[in-house]
């Protein structure tokens, strides 16, 4: 049995409970969905079909890549269907013998004009396009990592931690002088370490640009790690999975900058102390926001988020009233308290946490670095 089969079995069981005969996932420009990779290993553009009789059909743009990386019962080039998704669904439904009147579920992000094409082509079927359907179920499943995913994350964290050490060393020695120096070092060393690259665009913001949550542009040739607060937010992508850490470099800080850094460190310790099996994620975020409020500060973003094949996954670690996530073993998420001042710059500290049977394990070694 390959690593994807247990994941598929959970979805096949859900389809049986919901009487969904055929389900479609799409990973394409404008409608990206890493679920296709999660269920098959296919790293590029493709349609994926799951049938109630537990068959998988992959329809990739690049048949050569699919044969090299993907696992599916059938792999058929997208060109066989004129590269039109509604034609692919029609053909696959016929190929699999899907009975008339069956429920076919398509992705909830399907644009309305394309939905109309599906309805017009598949007149013999009940077309479902809903937020609380199979797409929502697979997001819940992806929130709890299996043994294979955890193994990848441990290796990715080791690479990330080595990079953190190198970044600190090169910043202290003066080799890193600009935001570009830091961002390019991460890109090169990640690939040298066996990664696919960075998990997302690196955010490198020197003292003049660290006031924003996400600097714009993401990095420039401006000075980095000079007097004040500098933020470096990055992740490495290994076998599809990304880490996500943020360092803050502090040099010759004034009293207000030191206060920001001290509060963020305190918030990081508080949030980690509260993260445990059975803990409501919303409660952890609320406690950190209360800590900041007592100091008359406000964090303008969530305390954290799940990570995986995408930079932001479940569980949500936020104070939003609709956040009902409870931490459990297998979840991997960030804790990233941050504060930002338009005059004095910003400070954020972000690490990746694995929830184990015995409690939280901090996978990464991000820190506030005082130069």
Residue 210 clears pLDDT 80, i.e. is over it: yes
In this model, does residue 229 exceed pLDDT 80?
Answer: yes
* Domain locations along the chain: 5-142, 144-370
Q: What average pLDDT score do residues 129-154 get? A: 96
Both tokens assigned to 73: 């019962």
Give CA torsion, residues 232, 197, 327, 324, to 10 deg.
80
Q: What angle do CA 334, 336, 340 make, to 5 degrees?
A: 155
Strand, coil or helix: what is 28?
Answer: strand
Report how far residue 286's alpha carbon sits from residue 167's, in angstroms, rounded to the nearest whole number: 32
Decide if 246 contacts 346 (C-beta within 8 A).
no
Strand order, beta sheet including 197-198: 197-198, 236-238, 241-242
pLDDT for 99-138, tens place per residue? 999 999 999 999 999 899 889 989 999 999 999 999 999 9
Tokens 């006031």 appear where? 211
Label residue 29 by pLDDT band (50, 70, 90).
confident
Please measure the distance between the N-terminal and C-terminal CA atoms of the chain and give it in whole angstroms: 51
Q: What's the pLDDT score for residue 46?
A: 97
In tens, the pLDDT along 50-108 reads 999 999 999 999 999 999 999 999 999 999 999 988 899 999 999 999 999 999 999 99
Other CB atoms within a 10 A radius of the CB of residue 202 amount to 20
Q: Where are the beta strands (DSSP E) in the chain?
A: 20-27, 46-51, 56-60, 74-75, 103-105, 126-128, 197-198, 203-205, 228-234, 236-238, 241-242, 245-251, 304-306, 313-317, 332-335, 338-341, 345-348, 351-356, 359-362, 368-370
- Give CA–CA dist 113/215, Å, rounded: 36
Fold of 5-142: Creatine Amidinohydrolase; Chain A, domain 1 (3.40.350)
Q: What is the pLDDT of residues 196-208, one digit of tens each?
A: 999 999 999 999 9
Beta 338-341 vs 245-251: how paired, if at all? unpaired
Parallel, antiparallel, or unpaired: how do β-strands 236-238 and 245-251 relate? Answer: unpaired
Helix and strand numbers, DSSP H then E, in the chain: 10, 20
Band of residue 1 on the pLDDT scale cut at 50, 70, 90: low
Looking at domain 144-370, does it have CATH number 3.40.640.10? no
Closest CA to 159 of 263, 241, 260, 104: 241
């Amino acid at each position: 049995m390959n690593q994807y089969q247990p994941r598929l079995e959970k979805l096949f069981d859900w389809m049986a409970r919901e009487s969904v005969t055929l389900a479609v996932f799409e990973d394409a420009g404008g409608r990206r969905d890493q679920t296709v990779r999660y269920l098959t290993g296919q790293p590029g553009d493709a349609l994926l079909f799951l049938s109630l009789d537990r068959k998988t059909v992959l329809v990739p743009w690049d048949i050569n890549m699919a044969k090299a990386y993907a696992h599916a019962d059938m792999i058929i080039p997208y060109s066989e269907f004129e590269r039109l998704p509604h034609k692919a669904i029609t053909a696959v439904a016929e190929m699999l013998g899907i009975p008339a009147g069956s429920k076919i579920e398509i992705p909830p992000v399907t644009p309305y004009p394309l939905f109309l094409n599906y309805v017009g082509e598949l007149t013999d079927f009940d077309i479902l396009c809903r937020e609380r359907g199979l797409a929502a179920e697979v997001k819940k499943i992806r929130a709890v990592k299996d043994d294979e995913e955890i193994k990848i994350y441990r290796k990715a964290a080791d690479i990330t931690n080595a990079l953190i050490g190198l970044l600190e060393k090169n910043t202290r020695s003066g080799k890193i002088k600009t935001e570009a120096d830091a961002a390019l070092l991460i890109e090169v060393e990640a690939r040298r370490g066996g990664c696919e690259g960075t998990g997302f665009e690196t955010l490198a913001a020197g003292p003049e640009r660290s006031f924003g949550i996400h600097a714009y542009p993401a990095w420039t040739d401006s000075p980095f790690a000079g007097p004040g607060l500098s933020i470096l937010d990055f992740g490495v992508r290994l076998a599809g999975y990304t880490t996500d850490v943020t360092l803050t470099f502090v040099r010759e800080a004034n009293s207000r900058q030191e206060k920001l850094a001290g509060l963020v460190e305190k918030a990081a310790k508080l949030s980690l102390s509260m993260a445990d099996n059975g803990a409501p994620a919303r409660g952890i975020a609320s406690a950190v926001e209360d800590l900041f409020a007592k100091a008359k500060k406000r964090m303008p973003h969530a305390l954290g988020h799940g990570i995986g094949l995408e930079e932001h996954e479940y569980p949500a670690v936020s104070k939003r009233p609709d956040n009902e996530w409870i931490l459990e073993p297998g979840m991997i998420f960030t804790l990233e308290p941050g504060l930002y001042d338009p005059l004095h710059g910003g400070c954020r500290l972000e690490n990746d946490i694995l929830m184990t049977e015995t409690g939280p394990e901090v996978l990464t070694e991000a820190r506030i670095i005082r130069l």
